[in-house]
Structure 1
Amino acid sequence: MAKRRTPLSAVLLAVLAAAILTAASPSPATAATERTEAAAATTGFRFVDITGSGGVVLKANVIAPSAAGRYPAIVFPASWGLNDLEYIAQAKTLAGRGYVVVSYTPRGWWSSGGEIDTAGPKDMADLSKVIDWTIANTTADPSRIGAAGISYGAGISLLGSAFDPRIRAVVMMSGWTDLVYSLYGDQTRHQQSAGLLQLAAALLGNAGPDLTGKLDDFNANRNVAQIMAWAGVRSAATYLDAINANRPAVLIANSWGDSIFPPNQLVDFYGRLAGPKRLELRPGDHAIAELTGVIGLPNDVWSSAYRWFDQYLAGVETGIGAEPPVLVNPHNAGQESYPAWSSLNGSVRRYGLGQIRWYDGTGLLGGAPSTGWSKTLPSDLNTTADGGVVLLTNGAAALTGILPQIWLPTVDRLRAGVWASDRPSSVQRIRGIPKVHLNLTGTAAQGTVVAYLYDLDSLGNAKLITHAPVSWLGTAGGSRSVDVALQATAYDVPAGHSLTLVVDTVDPLYYDANTFGGSVTVAGGSYVDVPLR
């Protein structure tokens, strides 16, 4: 029989012990609308086994207020690679605020039975079984059930609200709405993020033949249609109509630089949600913005989660429902709120790509798109321009406040196209999703280019604002146009700095579809559309 907790799990519990004490104490209110009463007494943690779908045993823990009565309940599925101890600090805090909290390890992970289902139908059935258990075995009010989580737990929670109408509120932190986009955004396979997920499954879970086969096919670039169909079943966007029919209150929180679940997929989904909704975007990478809250420290994402659940589960007026529902923290400016995503920017400025200058290998970025020029790039050579390392690069940027940076003269002009704008005397406030249109000639049937948008100072230091790859997977070579939506961002380009575009063909974050020894030519008529406030 499997041990109830593995040694590594015990270590995690020890690391979080101090955080539990912190979380158990009332913290100062950060806004007039937050609840300020002292934490209520709780039952303490109880570790339980919950029977999931098909008899699979799910390891879980539960904590609740100790006073008699019925309470709203929150279910936390653990993140990919973690177990039900992940939320122990926040569970303690929430129980003290008047919630029954059940955290569980999804099937296939750690000591839970079964094979990893990757938020598939079995995981949906399991979530409903956990809710059944919670109602039957705790003081949970069946009419006030919420679900929340980070990453994998976030995805399961949001998907679950389509299948179980008892889920009345969801907090999705660093989750996904379109797993197809997460794997194949702009027809480009995301290499490092998929590799990290595969490694965690191999070390800490029971992947089983389904997940193993899909990941093997993904890495080998075969059976793509089957993988996309499998991923579609595991995407909340597929079930948006069902979610809207159930009308849960949904809070979505993510990071601009999430390298596992890039945030562009959230924008359209958020816009089409019919129930109470809120979208919050902050600097960082996957699960970084909410990380300090996991160990019980003050954290803006978790503060929003408290207010969301208080409003929509506990029936406490926190004011969050009346606030502008789109909150953004720019990389280098103060927090901003908007009534809708479309309100972030007031205009879109088109920057045409111009002739490459012979003396410095740089073209002008700005004005109307010009014709009569071209820039040929090798299709298999990297440059110093890249998106960094999954989790680490943007995660470090969030912690330090310093965006990934290169010295632009190190970008080999024989391997990349570089276009820089004039240096305006006023700040340029980028808000939203910049879009790049490239006219290409001399392409192979399949290929990839990567576009990077930088903030360039007078000394050649270039900070990465946003980037994205785009691939074409045709049957014949020749001329074509490609359009790529760069990752959503909020960034102020300082006065006197140049907005700079770099285009190359290789980035270690992604699998490329390029031909060895080939080339691709960027031609006139290309441009960048930048949303400005």
Structure 2
Amino acid sequence: MVSLYPELDEGALVQVVQALRTGDTSKLAPARAAEVAETRETATFLDGVKVPVGEGVELDAALWLHNGEGPHPLIVMPSPWAKQGWTVYTVQAMRFARSGYHVLAYTTRGFGESGGEVEVAGEKDIADGIKALDHLISQAGGPDSVGKIGFLGDSYGSGISQLVAAEDPRVHAVVALSTWGDLGEAFYENGTRHVASVRTLLGAAATARLSARTQKAFDDVLANENVEETLEWAAERSPYHRVDKLNERRVPVLFAQAWHETLFPGNQTLKMFNALSGPKRLLWSIGDHSGPEMTGMVGLPNRIWHEAHRWFDRHLREVNGDEAAAAAFDSESGAEDQIVSEIMWGRALESRATWHAATGNPERFYLTGPSEGAKDGGLLDKPTNGWHTTFATGTDTPATVADRIIFTGYAELAGLPKAYLTGKIDRAAAGVWTSAPLPSRHQLRGVPRLRLTVAPSAPDTTFVAYLFDVNALGVARIITHAPYTLLGGTPKTPATVDIALQVTGYDVKAGHRLMLVVDSVDPFYDEPNGAPGTITITSPDEDPSYLEIPLS
């Protein structure tokens, strides 16, 4: 059994639920006991709620109904991809309830105590979210007794929340944490299968009940079969393909994403963010999937959950036309800005009005061939053409995305990013290009881009490009990366490709070097190279190869 929430204390959450139910807080820490007692005074808690959604299927849910005079705004919280179901939201649901919201958190179909089968945010999941909202409205006294409505989800629940908001005009605002915009791009980035993420999702759903169609989609990704069919399946489950419906009503959406997200890479969420025309905000953080918001789930201070509460306070509360009170935002803190980024590795927060304002100006580093007696090529400010670098395929190198999905991100959160010993990268199995020591700090903000002319020896070839920050001792930290797959090419015939590396917010210290590594194997991705061969990278006079980084 794999967990997407390895640091979540399930036992502690169960104790909180039991205390909410019975009033016995003796097993809780004093602060949590006080929180439970206050919640019981201000709201009615009901667990074991069964939400009928049709065809004999019921969803396991919990309700927090505020006791004060209404109408009250509503929040519906579909569960993550986790066996714990709705309980992961217990602490935050209590806090929403105490501040005046009616809340319903439910376990998505196929997981935990809910009926049905896992459809991966399919039409049945959208219908379930609508039925869950209907149930909350009925329990809160009917349509005339409630205020505005929000949907909030982490991970799996975040995609469902966006999709429900697109289809149900009653939804006024969304919070989507560790989310996806384009599921097809998450599964097939630059034509490359994310096999490790699919295996992780299957492992995390080991106790769930997958529908036959869901199982087929995952099996097809792993087997590299029926790609177009799977992409159509994924499109139906992608908020990006319903963004026009969200824009018609200008639904406010708050996103939170990690820079080194391995399940739903940042570029596809950024694409969704940029496609929205209504109020929107995007919080970038150090770490991997769901890690940055984890401390909030267990009740510790957490800026992402703090922003989620403020987002709903701003867009769901109605305080007699008092816009300042309704907003409850502190403009001096940059809360009106669309982009807030936690920069690697100093952890400073940068707030910018728009994504355009947050993105640096492009600066090109041209790839060059190795100088005499050297193994690595260079990254220079002017092109030097007429060279080529050839490396063998089929052998992994120490250049990898991460040691483990999720877990490497938790180490980053603890201030322990993975260290790469660049001297151990076998130059026979990788192309390596290194800059001179940087004369000043370089602030990378945005999407680095790579243009390469490659000539593989096989018609189908996958390679992975990594961008590293290297100190004077040759120890590196990963800035960003991207895979790329060429299919159906003519062997040893040059082809020029443009690759968007994953979005980043990273400061490279003065005196450090940038290092670009390209190799052919990474455990995170597929391996269509087949028998060992070669990849040659060159730089034609008319179209030089270069790395373009956005510098602030």
In structure 1, the residue matched to 2:328 is 318
Instruction: Name the amino acid aligned to 1:512.
Output: E
Name the residue aligned to 1:359. Answer: 373
Residue in 2 that maps onto 1:198: 202
Tell me which of 341, 349, 360 is aligned to 1:328. 341
1:142 CA displacement:
4.2
Counterpart of 1:240 in 2: which secondary structure? helix
Pairing partner for 1:169 from 144, 167, 173? 173
CA distance in 2, matches of 1:318, 1:68: 20
Q: 1:24 to 1:339 in 2, by over 3 A?
A: farther
Partner residue in 2 for 1:438: 452
Q: Is the 8 A contact 1:329 1:490 kept in 2?
A: yes
Spell out the pairing of 1:89-168 with structure 2 (5 A cutoff).
89-139=91-141, 141-168=145-172
Point out the more displaced range, 328-337 or 118-127: 328-337
Q: Does residue 534 of structure 2 align to residue 519 of structure 1?
A: yes
Q: Does 1:303 align with 2:306?
A: yes
Task: Confirm or deny: 8 A CA contact 2:360 2:444 kept in the other structure.
Answer: no
Q: Which amino acid aligns with 1:430?
A: L
User: Could you tell me which residue of structure 1 aligns to residue 249 of structure 2?
Assistant: 246
Structure 2 partner of 1:529: 548
Range moving further from structure 2, 444-453 or 229-238: 444-453
* CA separation of 1:167 and 1:367: change in aligned 2, threshold 3 A: same
Q: Distance in 1 between matches of 2:130 and 2:191?
A: 34
Matched residues in 2 for 1:503 and 1:420: separation?
A: 12
**SS at the partner of 2:461?**
strand
Letter of the aligned partner of 1:228 in structure 2?
L
Residue 408 in structure 1 maps to residue 411 in structure 2: no
Q: Which runs of 5+ in 2 are unaligned?
A: 1-8, 20-26, 319-325
In terms of mean alpha carbon deviation, does 431-440 or 45-54 score higher?
Answer: 45-54
Question: What letter corresponds to residue 144 of structure 1 in structure 2?
Answer: K
Q: Is the 8 A contact 1:171 1:251 kept in 2?
A: yes
Q: Which residue of 2 aligns with 1:60?
A: 61
Relative to structure 1, the CA distance from residue 514 to residue 15 in structure 2 (aligned partners, 3 Å threshold; closer, same or farther) is farther
- 1:417-436 → structure 2 map (5 Å cutoff): 417-436=431-450
Question: CA–CA distance in 2 between the matches of 1:193 and 1:509?
Answer: 7
**What's the CA shift string for 1:21-72, capped at 9, x where partnerless?**
746757xxxxxxxxxx999722134331000143311000001222242211
Q: 1:99 to 1:502 in 2, by over 3 A?
A: same
Is the contact between residue 406 and residue 461 of structure 1 (CA under 8 Å) also seen in structure 2?
A: yes
Q: Find the residue that maps to 1:376 and give its secondary structure.
A: strand
Task: Give the corresponding residue for 1:46.
Answer: 47
Counterpart AA for 1:289: P
One-letter amino acid of the structure 1 residue matched with residue 60 of structure 2: K
Q: Give the alignment's Cα RMSD to 1 decimal.
A: 2.2
Displacement of 1:526 after TM fit? 1.5
**1:23 and 1:93 in contact (8 A); partners too:** no
**How many angstroms apart in 1 are the aligned matches of 2:387 and 2:34?**
65
Greater mean alpha carbon deviation, residues 10-19 or residues 260-269: 10-19
Task: Classify the secondary structure of the residue corresponding to 1:258.
Answer: coil
* AA aligned opposite 2:431: G
Counterpart position of 1:480: 495
Decide which moves more: 505-514 or 229-238. 505-514
CA contact (8 A) 1:182 1:261 kept: yes
In the other structure, the counterpart of 1:339 is 353
Is contact 2:367-2:383 (8 Å) kept? yes
1-side partners of 2:450 and 2:430: how far apart?
15
Q: Does the 8 Å CA contact 2:140/2:146 hold for their aligned counterparts?
A: no
Q: What does the per-residue CA deviation read over 1:267-286, in whole Å, with 9 as the maximum and x for residues that have no partner?
A: 22212212111111111100
How far apart are the structure 2 equivalents of 1:513 and 1:397? 31
Tell me the distance in 2 between the aligned counterparts of 1:23 and 1:313.
27
C-alpha displacement of 1:207: 0.5
Distance verdict in 2 for CA 1:21–1:115, change over 3 Å:
farther
Q: Indicate which of 492, 508, 519 corresponds to 2:523.
A: 508
Q: Secondary structure at the match of 2:159?
A: helix
Query: What secondary structure, in the 3-state scheme, does the structure 1 residue paired with 2:86 have?
Result: coil
1:346-399 per-position Cα deviation (integer Å, ceiling 9, x unaligned): 41110011112353411111222321111111111111111112111122112x
- Tell me the percent identity: 37
Partner of 1:29: none
* Between 494-503 and 80-89, the greater mean CA deviation after superposition: 80-89
User: TM-score, length-normalised on structure 1?
Assistant: 0.92
Instruction: State the 1:232 CA deviation.
Output: 0.3
Matches within 5 A, 1:366-381: 366-381=380-395
Secondary structure in 2 matching 1:290: helix
How far apart are 1:191 and its partner, in Å?
1.2
C-alpha change, 1:297 and 1:221, in structure 2 (3 Å) is same
Separation in structure 2 between the aligned mates of residue 45 and residue 501 of structure 1, nearest angstrom: 55
1:104-133 Cα deviation digits (max 9, x unpaired):
011111121111110000000010001111
Letter in 1 for 2:546: Y
- Using a 3 Å threshold, how does the CA distance of structure 1 residues 102 and 222 change in structure 2: closer, same or farther? same
Of the three residues 277, 282, 293, the one matched with 2:280 is 277
Answer whether contact 2:68 2:100 (CA < 8 A) is retained: no
Tell me the secondary structure at the aligned position of residue 52 of structure 1.
strand
Give the aligned residue type for 1:528: L
Change (3 A) 1:19 1:182: farther
Q: Does 2:385 correspond to 1:383? A: no
Secondary structure in structure 2 of the residue aligned to 1:86: helix
Structure 2: distance between partners of 1:15 and 1:38: 11
With over 3 angstroms needed to count, the CA separation of the structure-2 counterparts of 1:444 and 1:175, relative to structure 1, is: same
